[in-house]
Structure 1
Amino acid sequence: MAIKTQTFIDPFAGTQQRFAATVLGMWIFLVVVAMLFLGAIMGYLVVRLNPNLEAPFIPEGATGLPVSLVFSTIALMASSFSMHQATRHVRQGRSQEAHKSMTITMLLACAFLVLQIFAWVTLWRQNIHFGNSLYAWSFYVLTGLHALHVLAGFVPLIRVWRKTARGAYSKQHPEGIVYCEMYWHLLGAIWLALYFTLWLGMRT
């Protein structure tokens, strides 16, 4: 009597299958990060729209959002574009151009963080400190939380930057730079949502 044997087929045996699986995992991670910021924004709006606050939400002396936030927004959007360009160059087999685009991305990310610091200093000089109003607390927490995620993004950015210098990515194997681009685009989208929320909060 012949014995039938079953052959196990590994669904992740191929490179493309593994890549698709890790992209899915990356999407799940991004959704978690997005939900974190969505919760923070919802909390801000609940406090901002509360008509029964004991003290004014916006303290005296606040003149609106710091101007440096406009420039930091431009810097982050530009870094998102250069990150996209880096991925596009990798898919086209242009390693040197990809490395240049990654360098630009890192410089723009540094500029974003520096401009965020300018924004915090501007508010501090207006005597809008962390604990003296809900507006100040909300501003520092929301922008600080985002800045921490940008700072954390430097870990994969530097790794990808070094690998593009060696030409480690190719059209067939763009994995690392694709993950980095996904995360960076999310940070850009989150910042736009935060900026609009803070801007709206100053006018509501």
Structure 2
Amino acid sequence: MTIGLVFLTLMMAVIVWWLLRQTINVQPWHSPAVALPVEEPAVRPSVKTALWVFLGVATSLFVLFVSAYAMRLGLADWTPLPRPRLLVLNTALLVGASLAMQWTVHAARRGAGGDVRRGLAASGVLTMGFLLGQLVVWKQLNDAGFLVASSAAASFFYVFTAVHGLHVLGGLVAWLRAVRRSWRGADAAAVRLGVELCATYWHYLLAVWVALYALLVSDELGLAICSSVPL
């Protein structure tokens, strides 16, 4: 169990470091495609800093839940849940949403408004598909008799997926603002900034979900909330 937690911690650290490095190295106001206002360089870093502060707080919350899970896992009465097959599809949808967001960032930097709108639409549809899939998983577990209070494993499954889902819903609020700016023909710099912030957040959501997915299904790490028995 300790080896598994160390592995997950290192994996999260590497992914978050990569995202932070991408954010620091990117300076879109230097792009020759669009002339930005003079005050833009001063505003942009503060907004990105605020996002990273929020991500730090969110990460602390997830770490607390994982720590509580690790302590509870060591008790003898732990009984894993059957593994919902739909989790694989849901993971693929979130991966697709993250990739679509990154593609949208490149479109925004090129000033391709049509591609930006298409990319935002694709990422939004895939993200909502992920949330819908998570609700279907909840229904499958509920129909099978695995309620929130039925076992410790069920409780942690619902808590992890619910907290992550709430963060995804919060991201859709920012996504909606970016969509409105794009369709209303807002300033290219403002659209690009909104898209970049959304992309960073989507990559973070994917990184967190990858770690949570490992907690849910990785029997080899000794951390699985779900057994290898499919549901």
From the superposition, tell whether residues 129 and 172 of structure 1 become closer, same or farther in structure 2 (CA, over 3 Å).
Answer: closer
In the aligned structure 2, how far is the partner of 1:35 from the partner of 1:167?
Answer: 37
Look up the equivalent residue of 1:19 and give its one-letter code.
R
Alignment of 1:55-204 (within 5 A): 56-58=77-79, 62-63=81-82, 65-170=83-188, 174-200=192-218, 201=224, 202=226
Q: TM-score, normalised by structure 2?
A: 0.74
Alignment partners' CA distance in 2, 1:169 and 1:81: 24
Q: CA deviation at 1:173?
A: 6.2
Alpha-carbon distance in 2 for matches of 1:166, 1:82: 21
Q: How far did 1:14 drift?
A: 3.0
Q: Distance in 2 between matches of 1:126 and 1:173?
A: 45
Q: Which structure has more helix as a fraction of its residues? A: 2
Q: Which runs of 5+ in 2 are unaligned?
A: 1-37, 219-223
In the superposition, the TM-score normalised over structure 1's length comes to: 0.84
1:18 aligns with 2:50: no
CA–CA distance in structure 2, aligned partners of residues 186 and 95 of structure 1: 25
Deviation at 1:17, TM superposition (A): 2.1
Higher mean Cα deviation, 179-188 or 95-104? 179-188
Q: Output one character per residue of 1:170-203: Cα deviation in whole Å (capped at 9) or x when no partner.
A: 2586222211111111111111110101113246
- Counterpart of 2:114 in structure 1: which amino acid? Q
Farther off after superposition, 165-174 or 16-25 = 165-174
Could you tell me whether the CA contact under 8 Å between 1:90 and 1:169 is conserved in 2? no
Q: Mark the structure with the bigger radius of gyration.
A: 1
Distance 1:193 1:142 in 2: 11
RMSD of aligned residue pairs (Cα, Å): 1.9
Q: Which has the higher contact order (CA 8 A, sep 6+)?
A: 2
How far, CA to CA, are the matches of 1:136 and 1:102 in structure 2? 34
Aligned sequence identity (%):
29
Structure 1: gaps (5+ residues): 1-12
